[in-house]
Structures are given as structure tokens and as C-alpha cells.
Amino acid sequence: MRHAWRGAIDAVRDVLFPRGCAGCDMPDAVLCEDCLDMFSGCRERILGGEPMVRVWSAAIYQGLVRHAVLGWKDHDDVELDAPLMHVVVEVTKHGLLPYLDREADVYTGNGVVAVIPVPSSPASIRRRGRYHTLPLAYAVASALRSDGINARVSRALVHTAGGRKSVQQISPTQRMQRISGRIVVDACDEAYGACDKVVLVDDIVTTGATLKECTYALRRQGVNVLGAVVLADAVVPRYDDDCNG
């Protein structure tokens, strides 16, 4: 019944207040073809140091890409779930999976690859009313299963920090200090308990501090992080890092 009412309300809203593209505001589009095309890249970035983390992203976090992601992330534009799920599936196919071809043991079926969305703080989840990266994690897990990998979504990572926004103009050191020790593992999660490898999923990578902290927490539990899939990278590349290059 709740879903029926929500559908009726959405239909009335669309008649009274027609929506525009989340990127460029083109009328009657959730994400127009031109804006969706801005998410069609595949970039590989290696977060150096210890732990080293491989990150695959679809776009640079600027301009219309930034506008669309913020509308989805912070302004409850849930209609963007479907196109952005498609985006992370493509990044998984063209970035993560070719890399995993070199990790043959993930295809043996003897273990589980847990796909874990990077957690937001409890305050951020309350403000948004949902765990916004969870649909992306389900899309990535589905793409992995389609390739023969035993992948399951897990919510084993928990963020214990306050509710300040994650994307801020602070230095990598400040960001690492702010996030340090704030992400912990809930070992009771069923999918996590069966896994020995993890793929992380997030919306944006900036300094990489959050992904590194997630990796620290998992490695302390003896779990190998294969890499991360994200929508956009805030760092403009200085070299050709196309996944297909």
C-alpha cells in the first residue's frame, strides 16, 4: 500500500512539477543521454601507500557530473538510482572484472566476494532517509555474479562518526585524521561471515581516506580488499588512465 501511495504521489508531482535532467535540467529527463554519456568513462586510480587500494570510476567529479551526483546523493533524487546503477555495472565490466581475470581464485566458487557499500554516518543516513550507496552495491554484485563470481552484498562496515558532509576542501592528512578509527566491521553480517574477499562501492573518491580506512578495518579482520568501484573521482588525471587503454 505504501508503494502504491508513493507511486500516485510521484505521478501527481510529475504532472504539476515536471522534472528536468539531473545534470543539465533538460525537461522531462531523469538523466539525459548527453549527461549519461559523461559517466561512460572508465578510469583506474591507485591510492598509494599502505594499504594500496585500486579504484575504478566512471567520471571526473566536476561540472554536470557533480550536479547530478549531488542531486542524487543529498537531494533525494531516487529516480537516479537506475541510471547510476547502470553506470557502476559498466565500470565493473570494463574496469574491475578485467583486473579480476588475473585473480583466478575468485572464480573457483569456494568463497564469497562481499560487495560492501562504503558507509555513511548515522546522521547522514537519517538526513537522506536511506543508505544511498546500497543500490549501487547491488548492481555491482549482480554484474559480478553474471561473470561467474559468487558475490553477495554485505553491510558489514559501520561508520561511527558525526554527520558532517564527506566531500570537503581539506587536506588528505586532515581527512585521514578525521576518519581514522571511525569505521568498524560488524562481523555478524551473514554475507561478510562467509567471505574472504571484498569489493568496496562508493559514490565519490576524493583524497581516498575513507576507502583506505575501510580497507584498514577489513584487513585487520584478515579480509582481502580487491578494489573499489565508484561513480566519480574528484582528482583530475595527469595521464591516460582509461581502463581500456
Instruction: Output the nine-digit C-alpha cell for 133.
Output: 550507496
* Residue 16 domain flag: no
Contact 122/159 with Cβ under 8 angstroms? yes
What ranges make up the beta strands (E) of 7-84?
43-47, 53-60
| Any domain includes 52 | yes
pLDDT tens figures, 112-166? 899 999 998 888 888 888 899 999 999 999 999 999 999 999 999 998 875 444 4
- Asked if residue 5 belongs to a domain, the reply is no
176 assigned to some structural domain: yes
105 vs 113: CA distance, rounded Å:
11
3-state secondary structure of 230: strand
Tell me if 6 is assigned to some domain.
no
Residue 79 within a domain? yes
- What range defines the domain where residue 168 resides? 40-233
**Domain count across the chain:** 1
d(CA 87, CA 64): 15
For the chain, strand residue ranges (E) read: 43-47, 53-60, 112-117, 151-153, 157-159, 183-185, 195-205, 224-233
Element (H, E) at 197: strand 195-205
**Between β-strands 157-159 and 183-185, what pairing exists: parallel, antiparallel or unpaired?**
antiparallel
> How large is the C-alpha radius of gyration of the chain?
18
Query: Does the residue 62 lie in any domain?
Result: yes
- Report if residue 144 sits inside a domain: yes
Q: How far apart are CA 210 and CA 192, in angstroms?
A: 19
Reported as a single tens digit per residue, the pLDDT across 9-42 is 555 545 545 789 999 999 989 999 999 999 999 9
Copy the grid coordinates of residue 21.
535532467
Q: Count CA atoms closer than 13 A to 228's CA, side-chain side.
A: 31
Residue with cell 564469497: 112
64-88, pLDDT tens digit by residue?
999 999 999 988 899 999 999 999 9
Cis bond before residue 83 (omega within 30° of 0):
no
